[in-house]
Structure 1
């Protein structure tokens, strides 16, 4: 994923700024699908479920941070080995540890294998003074998850990581397109059924004096969106700092309005929501949405590396997760007790009331309703090219070989088209944002959030133990070090995928 927008290479920022970046990344538009999932699964089951998912997500986040430190340590170790061979290392400490490691290696290896084992001998043995900690495990070099996969994973498995990441990004783009097209359609359609409280379906009319269906307008809006934003994917585009500030301001203004609006309705005893206490059959739906709502792992290297002081970064990330959890509770609980029916995209619950005429709604309220209805259009339109370009670059890394020349069509046209066309076809096939979020979060999202961190940290610990040794402890080590936790998380990921698969089968029936 791209580095924080507006940040130049090598530039650093404070811990507070870094946590704001993480907060904004996690609390994206995916949280707009939370209230509907909460209402379906029940308020108590949802509260417990999202708490458990937040804890598991934080656990795997700490594993990503530990893997980042291990990757920095391995790269530093390799550079020091190269400098040692060239006779350019004057540091007495490093020379002594290298000599001790080589002496130990010669004592246990045969002379014919000595050269091969020299590369694998631990650089740091027990008893080395503590100042080497900062030299080897300091997170100074930005190493993306794909690079860590290539560094730590056995061959072929790093390709598997790229495939899953691309699938996840495809799902992201399909969600973006569906959310934007749905918001544009609902802002244009003016047909009101005889029973104005009746839920409109895709096959209903869009306009009063026309037989054009809502699904047709939805697809036209999606085609228009792709026609406008798609060409940017063919170029190297990054958001400006001011665009990000505007997007962030718009997002939090919309979130604040929705929460305040719901609280006012509840205070005036106008709440119409009566969610069940628990509905176990809807648990897979909740899991899919919540898994997506805590996703930040793929962007952690770009967000954490520039932080100037990382000493307490794991504790600060824990505080970030706690704040995000509280925000999700506030958004979801105010929504489920305010509205009798919750749309799969929460902003659609604030669209102008079809049962009231224009004269019955004040101008201020109407403007707020239109703003909330168009909120996904504002925010997702700026993010769409960035995600699509990220997907394009990952597809190139997966399919093209380095140091080989390709035709203009292959290098400049093919991969942007491959990034745009598949999610557009998915978006044209269904307008159900909640299903798209569930599928993306439960399958590709859970793999990146659970399986990848667990396997990365396993191989990272193994490699650093082999090359650097046990003498220096990683200051960014995750709280949970036992290998059994890695197995537990992998089983948890498999269970989540089974639940969501069963839910999708039932929905299809």
Structure 2
């Protein structure tokens, strides 16, 4: 996540890039969206999610433009360094006075998109090298801005890990303690209900959380890499599970057995819906890894727009089938649980266990990767040029401060709707709105003085006017104020 330029990886087509982006965005957040739709109302939810999809698409185009500007900036610096080396090599042929005169005659700043010595124009804005968001922040922000960026992404990753750490034990608890007799309809259990004899469901959740920590926690102390085949497997399982839930809900509604009667609008559910939607459209921090390997980037903008339209339609289909199939009060924070504890909806044991364990397999493979990413961001935040960390700090302290907080949060609460809502509403707002807007604003200011006047960034955002940037920033501030005020009012009423 953080760091400099790395290898771009094996190139792939624009269509494959579209599929990768779809799989990245449609993740755990989608499983909490039906519950958020049910509490906020279907009209209000559809309106808000459509607007937030538009806002996320806008900031995605901002990040892509900033990536192109970062590539141009790096090429300009390399050219400047090459020219300085060439000038230093040629000083041996001239006297000091001659070289001084030549130095005064040369301009200090040259356009980076001028014709090269080979005689052909070069597209310096080509996104050929992967520049992560942390590197872009270092290039375009001052020291305070860089630190704020890392703090924001660290908080977001902590929230991500807390959600993952809670989602897996919840799924295991429901499989172990849920309704498997097919003798009753949908049941929503309480934490104090029995699971195994005197062991309550809450106790079982904490047991599974402890096992999860022991098995996956050690990966935080080492490097973890996502393999291509593991990604393909998890993506396949995701598609099967989501398609199965949509079809089952449609069949139940078509048979006249739908129990849902959601309200049109409920303002009380807006804060959580906002956080869930922001979290569910999060991809900006991974765009450098997704876009850079695309072999032909001429149609990237069109494909990104198509991706967002498809994802919006997918979220609407999943959520609408859920809220009209199940009673709003019985929709779980983790939507898969509505199929594992209701045998009238799905009475095939193998499929019910598959949906119940689906989050376990997919989320467990992501947890070590997110943990290592967070650990590396901590290291980058405190890193000083030329300095190294002692072995204990590097191998023990950083992994512990990465692993312990989210596990503690998961022990204290397993309310996924709140965890997703808070993560998306606060840290997610910064990563998805504020950082991309400020990146593209400063990228434009950095690149313009050293580019030819006729140079045009082919990857520039359709939202080119500075007013769009400030609109995004003001929207983010408004959202943070609204969510905070609502939380305060809710706590006051309690």
Q: Is the 8 A contact 1:53 1:290 kept in 2?
A: yes
- How far the C-alpha of 1:2 sits from its partner, in A, is 9.2
Q: Is the 8 A contact 1:352 1:370 kept in 2?
A: no
Partner of 2:143, secondary structure, is: coil
- Return the alpha-carbon distance in structure 1 between the equivalents of residues 302 and 125 of structure 2: 18
Q: Is the 8 A contact 2:8 2:289 kept in 1?
A: no
- How far the C-alpha of 1:283 sits from its partner, in A, is 1.5
Q: Is the 8 A contact 2:186 2:341 kept in 1?
A: no
Q: Unmatched 5+ residue regions in structure 1?
A: 90-102
Aligned match of 2:288: 301
Aligned match of 2:188: 199
Question: Structure 1 residues 156, 121: CA separation in 2 closer, same or farther (over 3 Å shift)?
Answer: farther
- How far the C-alpha of 1:284 sits from its partner, in A, is 1.6
Aligned match of 1:92: none
- Return the alpha-carbon distance in structure 2 between the equivalents of residues 197 and 307 of structure 1: 46
Q: Is the 8 A contact 1:204 1:214 kept in 2?
A: yes
Q: Where does 1:7-406 land on structure 2 (aligned, <5 Å)?
A: 9-87=8-86, 118=108, 120-124=109-113, 132=121, 134-189=122-177, 199-207=188-196, 209-210=197-198, 212-340=199-327, 341-353=330-342, 362=347, 365-406=348-389
Question: Structure 1 residues 473, 9: CA separation in 2 closer, same or farther (over 3 Å shift)?
Answer: closer
Q: Unmatched 5+ residue regions in structure 2?
A: 89-100
Q: Is the 8 A contact 2:2 2:135 kept in 1?
A: no
Partner of 1:206, secondary structure, is: strand
Q: Is the 8 A contact 1:177 1:424 kept in 2?
A: yes
Partner of 1:74, secondary structure, is: helix
Q: CA RMSD in A?
A: 2.7
Q: Is the 8 A contact 1:122 1:465 kept in 2?
A: no
Q: Where does 1:406-417 land on structure 2 (aligned, <5 Å)?
A: 406-417=389-400
Q: Is the 8 A contact 1:343 1:349 kept in 2?
A: yes
Aligned match of 1:431: 414
Q: Is the 8 A contact 1:182 1:218 kept in 2?
A: yes
- How far the C-alpha of 1:503 sits from its partner, in A, is 3.3
Partner of 2:192, secondary structure, is: coil
Partner of 1:422, secondary structure, is: helix
Question: Structure 1 residues 402, 86: CA separation in 2 closer, same or farther (over 3 Å shift)?
Answer: closer
Question: Structure 1 residues 21, 471: CA separation in 2 closer, same or farther (over 3 Å shift)?
Answer: same
Q: Is the 8 A contact 2:13 2:295 kept in 1?
A: yes
Question: Structure 1 residues 52, 361: CA separation in 2 closer, same or farther (over 3 Å shift)?
Answer: closer
- How far the C-alpha of 1:199 sits from its partner, in A, is 2.8
Q: Is the 8 A contact 1:169 1:387 kept in 2?
A: yes
Partner of 1:310, secondary structure, is: coil
Residue from 481, 486, 493 that aligns with 2:469: 486
How many residues matched?
A: 472
Q: Is the 8 A contact 1:45 1:277 kept in 2?
A: yes
Bigger shift: 36-45 or 499-508?
499-508
Question: Structure 1 residues 187, 10: CA separation in 2 closer, same or farther (over 3 Å shift)?
Answer: closer
Partner of 2:44, secondary structure, is: helix
- Return the alpha-carbon distance in structure 2 between the equivalents of residues 280 and 30 of structure 1: 21
Deviations 1:230-272 (A, max 9, x none): 1111111212221111111111111111011101101111100
- Return the alpha-carbon distance in structure 2 between the equivalents of residues 353 and 480 of structure 1: 47
- Return the alpha-carbon distance in structure 2 between the equivalents of residues 10 and 172 of structure 1: 25
Aligned match of 1:496: 479
- Return the alpha-carbon distance in structure 2 between the equivalents of residues 491 and 203 of structure 1: 44
Q: Is the 8 A contact 2:7 2:130 kept in 1?
A: no
* TM-score of the superposed pair, with normalisation by structure 1: 0.87
- How far the C-alpha of 1:388 sits from its partner, in A, is 0.4
Partner of 1:476, secondary structure, is: coil
